[in-house]
Amino acid sequence: QSALTQPRSVSGSPGQSVTISCTGTSSDVGAYNFVSWYQHHPGKAPKIIIYDVTRRPSGVPDRFSGSKSGNTASLTISGLQAEDEADYYCCSPAGSYTNVVFGGGTKLTVL
Amino acid sequence: QVQLVQSGAEVKKPGASVKVSCKASGYTFTRYGFSWVRQAPGQGLEWMGWISALNGDINYPQKVQGRVTMTTDTSTSTVYMELRSLRSDDTAVYYCARGESRWELDPWGQGTLVTVSS
């Protein structure tokens, strides 16, 4: 199973918005409404910020939002803050729910 | 609060095996499952497999099938991941993560660095 495709890096200034794309296939992202997104600060444990494409766990600011169209999911972070600088990974089930595929990760830099 | 605490770093020689533990606390262990995920140096996240503490369901991706075994010990609320026939490209930080599903993972353990080197 190939990794989902994400841009290697994105950047934005504080207060701006950025969108990170996650492109898969009709066998993973396109097949299920279960895309999740993880925020990973190096040296720390990853943290879930979006699940089921659009849902936010409690405690995650509403600056984080998710969407999906066809085989591509997206994470939008609005009102960028310095603490948002991290690596972001998308994740999707694949293969009749028995497999899981991650994106290659996107490094967000807050300028 | 829900917490996953993993065992410490390991250094292994090629061909050896490693067993990483992940002790859960703060919730009813048998209500969830666990995915294991690894991150090699400079690389992204890679899913290593799933074990359900709820119903015993287990599955592994083809890439590590035959080399990995995941088990649970409900008496100690601990999940284990054993990886055999280690190679240098198995060097990575290994994470356990609690999940209602294989892909909706919260929280994650602190990670265990496994270094494979001769």
State residue B8's pLDDT score. Answer: 97
Q: Please give the biggest Cα pair distance in chain B.
A: 41
Angle at B4 between CA A4 and CA B65, to 5 degrees: 45
Q: What is the distance between the alpha carbons of residues B96 and B50, in angstroms, rounded to a whole number?
A: 10
Question: Cβ of A98 and B59 within 8 Å?
Answer: yes
Tokens of A35: 């895309």
State residue A95's pLDDT score. Answer: 81
Q: What is the pLDDT of residues B37-90, one digit of tens each?
A: 999 999 999 999 999 999 989 999 999 999 999 999 999 999 999 999 999 999
State residue A98's pLDDT score. Answer: 86
State residue A1's pLDDT score. Answer: 61
Q: What is the pLDDT of residues A5-25, one digit of tens each?
A: 999 999 999 999 999 999 999
φ and ψ at B30, to 5 degrees?
Answer: -80, 10
Q: What is the distance between the alpha carbons of residues B75 and B70, in angstroms, rounded to a whole number?
A: 16
Partner-chain residue, chosen from B35, B37, B103, that has the shortest CB–CB distance to A34? B103
HSE of A40 in the Cβ direction (CA atoms, 13 Å)? 27
Q: What is the pLDDT of residues A45-86, one digit of tens each?
A: 999 999 999 999 999 999 999 999 999 999 999 999 999 999
Partner-chain residue, chosen from B103, B106, B109, that has the shortest CB–CB distance to A92? B103
Dihedral sign (CA B61, B66, B67, B69): positive
- Cβ neighbourhood burial of A1 (10 Å; 0-12, 13-18, 19+): middle
Q: What is the distance between the alpha carbons of residues A44 and A68, in angstroms, rounded to a whole number?
A: 28
Grade residue A35 by pLDDT with cuts at 50, 70 and 90.
very high
The whole-angstrom distance between B14's CA and the closest CA on chain A is 25
